[in-house]
Amino acid sequence: MLRNRPLLLVFRVVLGGLFIYAGVVKVVDPLGFAQDIRNYRLVGQSLSFLAALVLPWLEILAGAFLVSGVCRRGAALAITVLLVFFIVLTLVTMARGLDVDCGCFGSLSRKSGWSVVLEDLGMLALGLSLLLAPGPRAKARS
């Protein structure tokens, strides 16, 4: 279990910042993001629009909470769950042979593939480190 507070702070700022950025670029272009979601061929048009409206705000809020340290364990859990979902979605998409943009970072998105899976796994490692790190009360008990 990682106990290095300065390193955990860096993890929080980096991971939270990435999620804030990813959410903001999707909020700016909800129709483009809805189309990215639709391209995965998992949900219909209505659900893709709903997801395009909700998911970016979830990313922004979870990222902001993580960076600020407010409810950081809950934020780390939300981001970890999202990353597991994104990894599974990318692997399923690859297995289905679909050639789609990941929709991760707006215009900076690229094709879903192993590079996206590896990046998400790296972010997942950060998220799990934050989720499993001892809280402030753990220090007082030791």
pLDDT in tens, 25-47: 999 999 999 999 999 888 888 89
The burial class, CB within 10 Å (0-12 / 13-18 / 19+), for 3 is: exposed
Q: How many domains does the chain have?
A: 1
- Domain membership of residue 42 (yes or no) is yes
Contacts with 48 (C-beta within 8 Å, 6 or more apart), sequence order: 34, 35, 37, 38
Would you say residue 139 has pLDDT above 60?
Answer: no
In whole angstroms, give the CA distance from residue 50 to residue 42.
13
Helix (H, G, I), strand (E, B) or coil at 101: strand
pLDDT at 94: 92
Taking Cα atoms as reference points, which of 92, 107, 83 lies closest to residue 28? 107
**Is the pLDDT confidence value at 138 over 90?**
no
- Residue-number span of the structural domain to which 16 is assigned: 5-133
The whole-angstrom separation of Cα 90 and Cα 45 is 20
Residue, of 14 and 5, whose pLDDT is higher: 14
Instruction: Judge contact between 52 and 37, C-beta under 8 A.
Output: yes
The answer to whether residue 139 is domain-embedded is no
* Predicted confidence (pLDDT) at residue 142 exceeds the cutoff of 50: no
Is 128 a member of any domain? yes
Q: Is residue 138 part of a domain?
A: no
The residue with greater pLDDT, 64 or 2, is 64
Is 107 contained in some domain? yes
Determine, yes or no, domain membership for 112.
yes
Name the pTM for this structure.
0.87
In a domain, 34, yes or no: yes
Q: What is the pLDDT, as a whole number, of residue 43?
A: 86
* Residues above pLDDT 70, as percent of the chain: 92
70 located within any domain: yes
3-state SS class at 96: coil
Q: Band the pLDDT of 77: cuts 50, 70, 90.
A: very high
Neighbouring C-beta atoms of residue 56, cutoff 10 Å: 22
